[in-house]
């Protein structure tokens, strides 16, 4: 099971990196930051459980940076368009 989780975490991080390199997503986009935070978070937890300190440092910092950036993006979105982040928001119908 650990091997599968390692592969999932690595694929998430690499998918975000690949997508940003080919211009499919911006490195500051929600999609990029979410896959990086999830992937590096999974790998950091596995490194902690395996007592792999160098790998924990790498993935832990990667996850923290992704989370900090994600919070920054969400904070800016909230300040610019607070109505879009409210629960139950529905956009106006288009005819």
Determine contact, residues 46/9, Cβ cutoff 8 Å.
Answer: yes
Please give the residue range of the domain that contains residue 29: 2-81
Q: Who wins on pLDDT, 82 or 91? A: 82
The answer to the question of residue 46 being in a domain is yes
Q: What are 36-50's pLDDT values in tens digits?
A: 999 999 999 999 999
Residue 85 pLDDT level (bands cut at 50, 70, 90): low
Give the integer Cα–Cα distance in Å for 40 and 25.
18
- How many structural domains comprise the chain? 1
Q: Global pTM? A: 0.78
Question: Where are the alpha helices (H) located in 30-83, listed in sequence order?
Answer: 30-49, 53-80
Block residue for tokens 């792999």:
52
The answer to the question of residue 91 being in a domain is no
The answer to the question of residue 63 being in a domain is yes
Mean pLDDT of the chain: 88
3-state secondary structure of 43: helix
């Amino acid at each position: 099971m650990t091997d599968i989780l390692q592969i999932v975490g690595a694929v998430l991080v690499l998918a975000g990196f690949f997508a940003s390199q080919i211009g499919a997503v911006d490195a500051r986009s929600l999609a990029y930051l979410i896959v990086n935070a999830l992937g590096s978070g999974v790998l950091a937890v596995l490194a902690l459980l395996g007592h792999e300190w160098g790998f924990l440092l790498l993935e832990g910092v990667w996850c923290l940076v992704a989370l900090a950036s994600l919070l920054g993006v969400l904070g800016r979105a909230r300040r610019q368009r607070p109505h879009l982040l409210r629960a139950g928001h529905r956009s106006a119908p288009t005819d």
